[in-house]
Structure 1
Amino acid sequence: MAAGDFDVTSAQYGAKPDSDITQALANAWKDACASTSPSPCKAPIEMQVQGTLQAPEDGSQLSKPDTWIDFSYLDKLTLSGGGTFDGQGALAWKQNDCHKKANCNSIAINLRFNFVNNSVVKDVTSLNSKNFHVNVIGCNQFTFQDFTVTAPGDSINTDGIHIGRSTGVNITDTKIGTGDDCISIGDGTKQLTVTKVTCGPGHGISIGSLGRYPKEEPVEGINVRNCTLSKTTNGVRIKTWPASPDASTASDIHFEDIIMDDVANPIIVDQEYCPWNNCKKEAPSKIKVSNVSFKNIKGTSSSPVAVKIACAKGLPCEKVEMTDIDLKYSGNQGSITSECSNVQPTITRVPNALACAAKS
């Protein structure tokens, strides 16, 4: 078949509204790939989604319980078309116990990108994923643009975009509202740029969590700029587990020109992250955090502790800079303040209450 358009709704493939189009989609994809001779699926390929694709509500029809749609080992993919990937996650959220225990049953992620390079996702929506909306692993030079993530604030474990072991990922002009981190940045992430992202509801934009598993790779070159967070449970965050099995690093991390709208914990570094309270906090994190800056961060905090930088005992954070921090407390539980330990940041144009006087 010659290169061109492959329409799943055509008579050749037979996809119909309100029906299972799995086979039609698989056949169209196979033909599209075969058309890119001499190497199947190595030439540029674009998948346009128009309308709404719905995942099985209970997940029972999925070939893998942790995956709905998977793109793997591709180069020059474009995913576009203005359509929506609806994970139909409401039933799964009720059954999800991952917020209570570390070992929980696998639940489907809406979109997985594994080892996909020089590619773009634009003008599509991920809706109500059962688990993470998007998981990006082993990718290089990958862009999200005009991408939308939507799920209720109480949907469990529904990170918007999770990135790990990838280099040169760019997220721009993107709107994320979900029940967990809007963007979560895992080990091995390098040269990530996040710009013009709005986040809320959600748990903020987070580096980590890091240091939970053996042989994690360093995180470096993270730039988050010109973003707005609204009514999220955290703002910009770095989180590492205590009692890390192996040593690693998180460095060259920069947050700049960020607006906080009634955000709890607007600026937070937490090296005692322990969400299920089943780790050994007396054993400090082995993740070295260094060369971190928070610049021009303004707006309102819904909690009195607007700045918290709690670094690891015996492994203090180094080269931490705070410049032009202007946050006001929107509640009535006292005055705005900061809490910091095992760090001596460089402070420029920051009110005394937020100046992060180190505590023993």
Structure 2
Amino acid sequence: MDLELSIIVISLLFFILSGAGADMDVGVYNVKEYGAAGDGQTDSTKAFEAAWCAACAVEGMATIVIPEGAYLLGPIIFKGPYKGKMVMQLKGQLLASTHLEAYTQNWIDFQYINGLVISGGGTFHGQGASTWPYNQCPKTHKCKLLPVSLVFSFVTNATISGISSVDSKLFHLQIFESRDITLDSIRISAPGDSPNTDGIHIADSTNIQVANSVIGTSDDCISIGPGSTNLTIFNVLCGPGHGISVGSLGKNANEKDVNGLTVRKCTLTGTTNGLRIKTWPSSPATLKATGFLFEDIIMNNVYNPIIIDQNYCPYANCPEMVYLIATTAK
């Protein structure tokens, strides 16, 4: 092969490889390379922030790797938008700081993101046991909320699969103003006497699917708030806890309708309630809850299998202003 032909062949190979690489992962970002310790004691918040910022600058797909180990994290916001798509591969365990004074709101918050995958089989541990005694919300409405473990706000096109959430301080996982999110093979657990540790709370979001998951807490396994549309809950094992709930609805002004909820092939065991809908009769807003289908539901040792409470009100003589339409159970 002469020199000229060799140059042509090498150039062609470079062109092919460059083109192929355009659809491949652009970069892998290991949090340990940014200073994360993984010893369960050293605060790794800054290292996680640095890894996220580096990955966000990539045009293409970036993968943040969290290896085996225990990583102590304070409150952190993973914020978009970014130039490509993001994969967070959690193999280790993330431990929430127990210092409540460090929190202004939530623990881990994903915001303004389009295209997110979280997987890897790891665990988000809220270390809630040390803070549950400070939760006064079950006793009084004038209380300070403890941090939610995982929050997805203004997130689109996300898949969260194969991860666990343990002992959250308040809710385990909350989805707000988001769309096209799939939660698959999630495990959520907290003791039966832990206050307000709802499993998954969804509000003002559309096209959300929860499937093939196991949830056991002291509160709702899954709760549906106002403004939620086109939700599917499939093959979920719930218990202990308060079951699968819609509401409460109508507590605040400007709440939006709930439309299109399908709950299929779910099993509830040892829960206070099975399927529950609760609305405030003295609502400052008039809204509707429509298009519900509950099908192939198994209940074992459930105290209140089905509850529709349209008088959820601590006061007397509250006018009903929330309407239930087209609710079907099979």
TM-score class, shorter-chain normalisation, is 0.7 to 0.9
SS at match of 2:55: helix
1:209 aligns with 2:248: yes
1: CA distance, partners of 2:318 / 2:184: 41
Deviation of the 1:40 alpha carbon: 5.5
The TM-score normalised by the length of structure 2 is: 0.84
Partner-residue secondary structure (3-state), 2:298: strand
Percent sequence identity over aligned pairs: 45
Task: Tell whether 2:95 aligns with 1:54.
Answer: yes
The answer to whether the aligner puts 1:286 opposite 2:321 as a matched pair is yes
Deviation at 1:280, TM superposition (A): 2.3
Letter of the 2:35 counterpart:
Y
Matched residue, 2:50: 27
Q: Which residue in the other structure is 1:341 paired with? A: none
Superposition deviation, residue 14 in structure 1: 4.3
**C-alpha distance in structure 2 between counterparts of 1:178 and 1:40, whole Å:** 33
**Cα distance in structure 2, aligned partners of 1:106 and 1:227:** 30
Give the secondary-structure state (helix, strand or coil) at the position aligned to 2:288: strand
Q: Structure 2 CA distance, aligned partners of 1:55 and 1:99?
A: 23
8 Å CA contact retained: 1:133, 1:160: yes
Query: How big is the shift at 1:13?
Result: 3.4
What is the CA–CA distance in structure 1 between the aligned matches of 2:47 and 2:151, rounded to whole Å? 20
Query: Normalising to structure 1: TM-score of the pair?
Result: 0.77
Distance 1:98 1:30 in 2: 36
Is 1:34–1:41's contact at 8 Å kept on the other side of the alignment?
A: yes
Check conservation: 2:81, 2:113, Cα contact below 8 A: no
Amino acid of the structure 2 residue aligned with 1:58: H
Structure 1 pair 40–160 and aligned structure 2 pair: CA distance change class (3 A): closer
Q: Which moved more, 1:281-290 or 1:23-32?
A: 281-290
CA contact (8 A) 2:272 2:304 kept: yes
1:181-235 per-residue CA deviation (whole Å, 9 max, x = no partner) reads 0000000000000000000011000000101001100000000000000000000
1:225-304 aligned within 5 A: 225-274=264-313, 279-295=314-330
Aligned: 1:185 with 2:220: no
> Aligned letter for 1:93?
W
- Equivalent position SS for 1:36: coil
Give 1:108's aligned residue. Answer: 147
AA in 1 matched with 2:108: I
- CA apart distance, 1:3: 2.5
Would the alpha carbon gap of residues 37 and 261 (structure 1) be closer, same or farther in structure 2, given more than 3 Å must change? closer
Residues 120 and 37 of structure 1: CA distance in aligned 2, closer, same or farther (over 3 Å): closer
Shift of 1:37: 6.5
Letter matched to residue 218 of structure 1 = D
**Any idea what the Cα deviations from partners look like across 1:60-79, whole Å, max 9, x if unmatched?**
333x2x20000000011001
Query: Paired residue for 1:17, among 39, 64, 68?
Result: 39
Kept in 2: contact 1:197–1:228 (CA 8 A): yes
Equivalent position SS for 1:263: coil
CA distance in 2, matches of 1:237, 1:13: 46
| Post-superposition CA distance 1:39-76 (Å, at most 9, x none) | 952422111111211101232333x2x20000000011
User: What does residue range 99-248 of structure 1 map to in structure 2 within 5 Å?
Assistant: 99-248=138-287
Q: Aligned AA for 1:282?
A: N
1:84 to 1:242, Cα distance in 2 relative to 1, 3 A: same
256 and 101 in structure 1: CA distance in 2 versus 1, 3 angstrom threshold: same
In 1, are the aligned partners of 2:223 and 2:246 still within 8 Å (CA)? Answer: yes
Tell me which amino acid in the other structure corresponds to 1:135.
Q
Q: How many pairs were matched up?
A: 287
Could you tell me whether the CA contact under 8 Å between 1:7 and 1:13 is conserved in 2? Answer: no
Q: Aligned-pair RMSD on alpha carbons?
A: 1.6
Q: Partner of 2:27: helix, strand, or coil? A: coil
**Consecutive unaligned residues in structure 1, runs of 5 or more:** 296-360
Provide the rounded CA distance (Å) in 2 between the counterparts of 1:131 and 1:264: 24
Is the Cα contact below 8 Å between 1:167 and 1:191 reproduced in 2?
yes
The aligned amino acid for 1:36 is E
Contact 1:192 1:222 in 2 (8 A): yes
Alpha-carbon contact 1:272-1:281 (below 8 Å) kept: no
In structure 2, C-alpha distance between the alignment counterparts of 1:207 and 1:83, rounded to whole Å = 29
Counterpart CA distance in 2 for 1:269 and 1:284 is: 16
Distance, in Å, in 1 between the alignment partners of 2:192 and 2:127 is 15
1:78 to 106, 109, 117: 117
In the alignment, structure 2 segments of 5+ residues that lack a partner are: 1-24, 62-79
Partners in 1 of 2:221 and 2:81 — Cα distance?
35
Provide the C-alpha distance between the structure 1 equivalents of 2:155 and 2:114, rounded to a whole number of angstroms: 6
Question: What's the CA shift string for 1:81-116, capped at 9, x where partnerless?
Answer: 111111111122112111122221121000000010
Pairwise CA distance, 1:15: 3.2
Does structure 1 retain, via aligned residues, the 8 Å contact 2:90–2:123? yes
Larger helix fraction of residues: 2
